[in-house]
Structure 1
Amino acid sequence: MSTTPRRPAGPVRRPVGRLAALAAAALLALTGCSDNGASAPEPTATLDARLLESAREGGASDEQLAVLQGGQVTFQQYQKAVNQTVTCMRDAGIEVIGDAVTQARGFPEISYSFGNSSAGRTAEQTLAIADECIATHSMYVEQAYQTAPGSLEQQEAAFAPYRDPIVQCVREKGGDVPGDATAGEILVASASVEVQTGVSCTSQAGYDGG
């Protein structure tokens, strides 16, 4: 099975939530407990009104909107939303793997992948169904949870030992990283370098959370 991290199992892609979280973390920089006993990050104190509006316009379920309207997202709410997305995909015949809680980025999250194909459908049809499951059940809750202050603080702490080697690699490959860049910004720059050169600075540094 080939997988699409948090998007479709065909070629491997990162899960939508992870990509969205990196982008959201970079945007923010520019402008309790999990099943494995890990402490959940502090919930968001307030949620950006733009995210709530995007959720409404993007077809988020009433349950997802209710979580966002509550003004904070706990790990339990996040986990429930992601589990609903995974169930939606599996009920549609799309294979999902990696839906366990991990702490690769320093805080508990679920970095699942899903199949790029499913029986009787084209890859485009499969992706469309998967995208609808994600948008309906968890995408906006995931963004809020992953960009909460506690999540970002724990990500920065876990990323610290890898910061210098990744930044050096990105710069050597022509990427631009300011000295005060956040972990999210550095990971976005590293992903851009990988697209352009095929070199994964995060892999070279031994970092598996990006």
Structure 2
Amino acid sequence: MWRQIIELWKSDDLLDQAYNDSFEMMYVAREMCVEAIRVLREVDNSTVNQKIRNKDKIVNEYEQNVRRKVMTHCSVKGPEDLSSGMILVNIVVDIERIGDYCKNILDLASVRSKKLKVGSFEKLILDVEKEVITRFNKTIKVLEEQDEESALSMMSSFKGKIGSVCDEIVNTIATGNIEDLSVSEAVSLALYSRYLKRISAHLNNMITTVVNPFERIGFRAK
């Protein structure tokens, strides 16, 4: 279904622009994500680069442009392309939310005087960070190539590689079963884990568009 929709979009200049804008959004959001992780985890006394913060505004502008172009197209062409337009709008909403979570990570970095150290959680959080960046790159590729097999593989591995690991970190902190972190570090780690989980969840929502009809976007494949 999605492959045919893309071909339809590419046949129309306005929707072609909206389609391309959605990928530009993803590239900007990916850059934000990589930089936010680096600043929080590697930089002491960080003054967050305003250019990175401003990228969130760029993401928001892209989202508005995509919505406008899709609405204009559907208004002119009629309801026949409504479902395809709604799918694209769904995707850019997820990208915008990713931008917000990246900004949350930058906000967390800006209120800390030192880089975030996570003690005995280091291996777990490093694995999650690497997986989030890997999934970001794979999501872009899956959407570009409409690779259903890879999409299904990523959807099936989300919980095990990201969701359950982040939940384990937060649950351990919540029970107070930690000895090598300060209160500040523990709170920061819990928030950070949730932000990473939500970023990955929105990436997962996006790849469901490759294999699911509109009404099942964001849900497991049947």
Q: Which band: TM-score by shorter chain?
A: 0.3 to 0.5
Structure with more of its chain in helix, by fraction: 2
